[in-house]
Amino acid sequence: MAAGVTAGSHRARARRGRGRVRPWLYLLPALAVLVPLFGYPVYMLGLLSVFDYRQAQVSGGQPTTFVGFGNYATLLGDARFWSVLLQTVGFAAALVVGTLAVGAALAVLMTRIGTVPRVALSLAALAAWAAPAMTGSTVWMFLFDADLGLVNQVLGIDGFNWFFDKWVTFGVVGATVVWHSFPFVMVTLYAGIQAVPGSVLEAASLDGASTWQSFWRVIVPILRPLITIVVIQSIIWDFKIFTQIYVMTNGGGIAGQNTVLNVYAYQTAFGSSEYGLGSAIGVVMTLILLVVTMFYIRALHRTGEKL
């Protein structure tokens, strides 16, 4: 009897062990591609960040000097870095709120309109999502051009420069980013709303709940795990924004007033040829995004448990 129990426990442990190993076996092909593809650049980024590496070292005119955390000390002691970091965080937060608001509103709208308008809205949204960031930024710059822009013509404004004032510029660039990003939120939340059981909404309606109350008190709590994932994903995308800012503000705006962290890293590394310091900025950004990604993975795990 005891021998049978012991053998059974061994088999159970073996099954649990195989269950823990099997997911990693499925991931091996992807890891074989992703680890070299992303691991080596991250390694080189970290390596350069601990050296005084400038144009003189690139050309071989001077030896490379190990400075340890010297670049990080310089960076953390630079008021410009903290100003750009705070500006980046604030801009990213505004983009996340705007993207979520537009995407959620259109997701709800898709549940209220007919088939033909819904298909048209879906195709228009997916076209915006599929457009390259460079192309979209160029189109929006033309729309807001001071002399030939459609926006000035429609508003009857003659020669207004939308890219002169700092906050107006952020507004135009932010609208461009939201235009690129809202389709992901819209499609994701629309799929979530469609998965809400009709019996639950019917019960809320019988209890006297209005459409607005049903949305906030029934649909939103059910979609909370999905909304969490969408928000964290948007934070990751918007925090590392580069193309729209760099293209539409010509590298950060007048006197760098619209600079964000990714643009600042690019200007430091390639504009000032301070590759070590620029790499340190990249490492700091990577660490920040790594923390956000950990929350994202945790949210995904919790969503999987609830589903």
Please give the backbone phi and psi of residue 95, each rounded to the nearest 5 degrees, phi first: -65, -40
| pLDDT digits 0-9 by tens, 42-71 | 888 899 999 988 888 777 777 788 888 999
Are the CB atoms for 238 and 96 separated by under 8 Å? yes
Q: Convert the pLDDT of each residue in 178-226 to its tens digit.
A: 999 999 999 999 988 888 887 777 777 777 777 677 777 778 888 888 8
Rg (CA), the chain: 25
Beta bridge partners of 274: 54
- What pLDDT does residue 57 have? 79
Q: Give residue 250's identity as a one-letter amino acid code.
A: N
List, for residues 137-164, the tens digit of each pLDDT value: 999 999 999 888 899 999 988 889 999 9
Domain segments of the chain as ranges: 70-306
Say what the pTM is: 0.83
- DSSP letter, residue 273: -
DSSP conformation class of 210: -
What's the count of helices (H) and strands (E) in the chain, helices before strands? Answer: 14, 2
70-306 fold:
MetI-like fold (1.10.3720)
pLDDT band at 17 (very low <50, low <70, confident <90, very high): low
Give SS3 for 147.
Answer: coil
Predicted pLDDT at 244:
93
Q: How far is the C-alpha of 230 from the C-alpha of 221, rounded, in Å?
A: 14
Tokens read off for 261 = 């962290």
pLDDT of residue 307: 47
* DSSP 8-state secondary structure symbol assigned to residue 164: T
End-to-end CA distance of the chain: 40
Contact assessment for residue 142 and residue 148, using Cβ atoms and an 8 Å cutoff? yes
